[in-house]
């Protein structure tokens, strides 16, 4: 997902610009533009996630989140703190469609596995107050995702520049496995957390999914637009490759 959006800003850089050899150029008049960009994404996704200092792109694997809210009610609060999200670079694209005239693209893809590790922080009032925290590791397989984005032009110093103005990402998380460190020494409180997280998967997914989607979206827009600002529209989208 991240690499797919970033590649749009990279794969069509004008051949006259000083670009790294690993960037494949796609012209906007290419009759197979969608496939050309798909090929470029496959070529670039690992490189983008590792980081490209020469293009001011730092590593995005893992994606770091300060906090994921699992639930937050007057009587019960459960958060994941300092969460590391891994696996966003390991994906397969099912379909990709771009319309340069409308400045819009859609992507349908599948993440093979997303892994989240961090520290859970529980504060609940049941029969008696319960406060507990500790390391947690969550794995979810075959996560579908749809991405829809709009690109606009702005004139600056007599030059047209492109930027992503809007993006929505929808994740399809079907379930997950959860593990704690020191599984053989789980306390009664930690077992309570484990059972709750295991028995209420749909409710929990619905709680933290928007936060995860928002974090990924903000990251993609920020990094992609940071790339866009270095080139004019004609450089990014040459008439011919």
CA distance 49 to 37: 17
Find, among 167, 173, 152, the residue nearest to 214 by Cα.
Answer: 167
| Paired sense of beta strands 104-125 and 63-72, if any | unpaired
Q: What is the per-residue pLDDT for 113?
A: 94
DSSP for 136-200, please give it.
Answer: EEEEEEEEEEEEEEEEEEEEETTEEEEEEEEEEEEEE----EEEESSGGG--HHHHHHHHHHHH-
Q: What is the per-residue pLDDT for 150?
A: 96
pLDDT at residue 124 greater than cutoff 80: no
* Higher-pLDDT residue of 125, 90: 90
Q: What is the per-residue pLDDT for 5?
A: 56
pLDDT at residue 152 greater than cutoff 70: yes
Report for 10-24, 32-46, 47-61, 148-162: range of highest mean pLDDT: 148-162
- Say how many C-beta atoms besides its own lie within 10 A of residue 70's C-beta: 23
Q: What is the pLDDT of residues 22-49, one digit of tens each?
A: 767 778 888 888 988 888 788 777 777 7
pLDDT at residue 101 greater than cutoff 90: no
Q: Residue range 54-58: average pLDDT?
A: 75
Q: What is the per-residue pLDDT for 4?
A: 55
Mean pLDDT is lowest, of 54-63, 76-85, 114-123, 170-179, for: 54-63
Q: What is the pLDDT of residues 157-212, one digit of tens each?
A: 888 888 999 999 999 999 998 887 655 445 666 677 777 777 788 888 888 899 88
Domains and CATH numbers, the chain: 2-236 (3.15.10.30)
pLDDT above 90 as % of the chain: 24
Which two three-digit tokens encode residue 30?
């290419």
pLDDT at residue 17 greater than cutoff 50: no
Contacts of 22 (CB under 8 A, 6+ apart): 43, 44, 47
Q: What is the per-residue pLDDT for 15?
A: 40
pLDDT above 70 as % of the chain: 83
pLDDT at residue 120 greater than cutoff 90: no
């Amino acid at each position: 997902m991240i690499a797919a959006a970033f590649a749009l800003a990279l794969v069509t850089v004008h051949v006259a610009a000083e670009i790294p050899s690993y960037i494949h150029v796609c012209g906007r008049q290419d009759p197979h533009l969608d496939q050309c960009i798909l090929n470029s994404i496959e070529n670039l996704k690992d490189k983008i996630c590792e980081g490209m200092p020469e293009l001011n792109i730092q590593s995005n694997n893992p994606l770091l989140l300060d906090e994921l809210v699992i639930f937050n009610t007057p009587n019960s609060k459960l958060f994941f703190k300092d969460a590391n999200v891994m696996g966003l670079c390991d994906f397969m694209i099912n379909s990709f469609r771009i319309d340069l005239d409308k400045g819009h693209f859609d992507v349908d893809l599948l993440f093979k596995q997303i892994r989240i590790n961090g520290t859970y922080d529980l504060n609940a009032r049941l029969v008696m107050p319960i406060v507990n925290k500790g390391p947690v590791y969550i794995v979810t397989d075959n996560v579908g995702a749809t991405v829809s984005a709009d690109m606009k032009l702005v004139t600056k110093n007599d030059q047209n520049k492109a930027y992503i103005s809007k993006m929505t990402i929808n994740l399809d998380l079907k379930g997950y496995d959860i593990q704690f460190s020191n599984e053989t020494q789980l306390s009664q409180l930690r077992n309570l957390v484990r059972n709750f997280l295991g028995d209420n998967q749909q409710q929990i997914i619905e709680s933290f999914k928007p936060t995860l989607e928002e974090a990924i979206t903000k990251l993609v827009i920020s990094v992609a637009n940071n790339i866009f600002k270095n080139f004019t529209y004609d450089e990014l989208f040459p008439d011919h490759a």
